[in-house]
Amino acid sequence: MTLRVAILSRGPRLYSTRRLVEEAKALGCSVDILDPMKLSVTIGNDGRRILNEGWNVEVDAVIPRIGYSITGHGVAITRQFERMGTYVANSSNGIQNSRDKLHAAQILSSNHIPIPTTALVRDWRDVERAIQQVGGVPCVVKAPEGTQGSGVYLAHTERDASEIAWKLLEEGERVLVQEYIKESHGRDVRVLVVGGQVVASMRRRAHGREFRSNYHLGGSVEKVDLPDDYARIACKAARLLGLEVAGVDLLESSRGPLLLEVNSSPGLEGIEKASGVNVAGHIIQHVVESHTYSPVDLGQLLSNKEGHGTLAIRVRKYPELVGRKLGDLITLDDDGMVAAVSRAGAHIWNPSNDMVLREADEIVFYGELEVLHMRIRPLIKQTIDARFSAPEKPQPWEINDYSENEAAWAARRPDPQWRYRRR
């Protein structure tokens, strides 16, 4: 059966769109280019539909190429395809995560992805403090949303940074002040990740006084031998943001790779030119192989059953749990109280009673929420009570047993006149 593929794009003549169409047809797919701004959505109890010029859109797979300016509507259309059970190469949540630079930085940094130090500013009077927090000037000032280098400025003085921030704030934008990586000025490494694997990479260089290395701003591109740590970070970043197709930008710093940005609709012209890799072919091949599977929002799925859901405990908050066995804390029964233990970036499903807890572990519980609260709250209460009820080791001057060694106790007691003595 012919695979019906829809490419959501407003630019049918753009290089990336044309290459995807060529490769899809080469694999025998039926391809339509749909302008997401011309698609309508119908939602109701009798079903969900997407209309194009009055006709129902029925396809097997969707490749979203959503531009920054239409992110809101484009994400809504993408989400509707997902609700209809259609395979979508990049999820609506993934697109949203990547478009908000602050949100993306929060997700990545909390999962130990190295990034340049970044501060959010809502008032121009806070710019000076933000600059200090990111290491001083020069620094980068930019809007949290944007693509292809738009809304990104390099400020060499605090006055310049304040003026740029004031201008952005006047336009209703939030402002990010970011650490400037001097040794990576005017260049970065773009990594193209498809289906969790690196398929191509390149180094981009800016020309002249321009510090942004984007290909569409006139930057040059060249082939690069990608180190393993760069590839690992790029794949993990794409996975954390929920993207199957991603362009990951990394800075080459003195302290190793720093993740700058993740693009959910990466351009293909520069990287195919630099690497010599058929990137569009890799994307279409991944779509053909993966379209039979639909991604699942696990959190939403687990909450569908009335009164059920998930709870989590971070062991770090309760040091008394470190070194104890999971079975000592709570009995694992047929109700599946402990669904998983998150450890070192992985999930251990159906853990055994003998698992010894570590400080960085997170225990994920699933079941009837009322039962979970009844069984977990006493566990936490016992831990907290033990913490505050443990007797403290008495200080020497608190000893009140004079019978054994009164002279020794007196010698160790602090002299009440010590602060008045000459040193």
CATH of the domain at 332: 3.30.70.1450
Same domain, 304 and 285: no
Q: How many residues does the chain have?
A: 423
Residue 167 lies in a domain: yes
Residue after which a domain boundary falls, among 290, 322, 357: 290
CATH no. for residue 246?
3.30.470.20
Tokens of 399: 């000893």
What domain range is 350 assigned to? 298-389
- 308 with 368: CB under 8 angstroms? yes
Residue 383 lies in a domain: yes
Tokens of 33: 């280019």
What is the secondary structure of 278-318 as a DSSP string? -HHHHHHHHHHHHTT-----HHHHHTSSTTEEEEEEEGGG-
Same domain, 215 and 264: yes
Same domain, 283 and 316: no
CATH no. for residue 8?
3.40.50.20
Residue 104 lies in a domain: no
Give Cβ neighbours of residue 10 (< 8 Å, ≥ 6 apart).
35, 36, 37, 67, 70
Same domain, 142 and 237: no
Give Cβ neighbours of residue 18 (< 8 Å, ≥ 6 apart).
12
Residue 395 lies in a domain: no
Same domain, 175 and 125: yes
Q: What's the CA gap between 189 and 181, in Å, rounded?
A: 14
Residue after which a domain boundary falls, among 223, 258, 290: 290
> For each of the chain's 423 residues, which pLDDT tens digit applies?
689 999 999 999 999 999 999 999 999 999 999 999 999 998 876 667 899 988 999 999 999 999 888 999 999 999 999 988 899 999 999 999 999 989 999 999 988 899 999 999 988 888 899 999 999 999 999 888 766 556 789 999 999 998 998 888 888 778 999 999 999 888 999 999 999 999 999 999 887 666 666 655 557 889 999 999 999 999 999 999 999 999 999 999 999 999 999 999 999 999 999 999 999 999 999 999 999 877 677 777 777 788 888 888 888 888 888 898 888 776 555 455 777 898 877 788 888 888 999 998 998 888 888 888 887 777 777 766 666 665 555 555 454 554 445 555 455 555 555 444 444
Same domain, 321 and 374: yes
Beta bridge partners of 219: none
Residue 404 lies in a domain: no
Residue 420 lies in a domain: no
Give Cβ neighbours of residue 123 (< 8 Å, ≥ 6 apart).
169
Residue after which a domain boundary falls, among 128, 154, 180: 180
CATH no. for residue 150?
3.30.1490.20
Q: What's the CA gap between 364 and 367, in Å, rounded?
A: 10
pLDDT, residue 422, reads: 46
Residue 233 lies in a domain: yes
Same domain, 261 and 201: yes
Give Cβ neighbours of residue 200 (< 8 Å, ≥ 6 apart).
191, 192, 271, 272, 275, 277, 279, 282
Same domain, 53 and 122: no
Same domain, 269 and 284: yes
Same domain, 122 and 170: yes
Which three-class secondary structure state does DSSP give residue 125? helix
**Domain total for the chain?**
4
Same domain, 309 and 284: no
Q: What's the CA gap between 26 and 41, in Å, rounded?
A: 31
Element (H, E) at 221: strand 220-223
Residue 315 lies in a domain: yes
Same domain, 43 and 72: yes
pLDDT, residue 71, reads: 93
pLDDT, residue 301, reads: 73
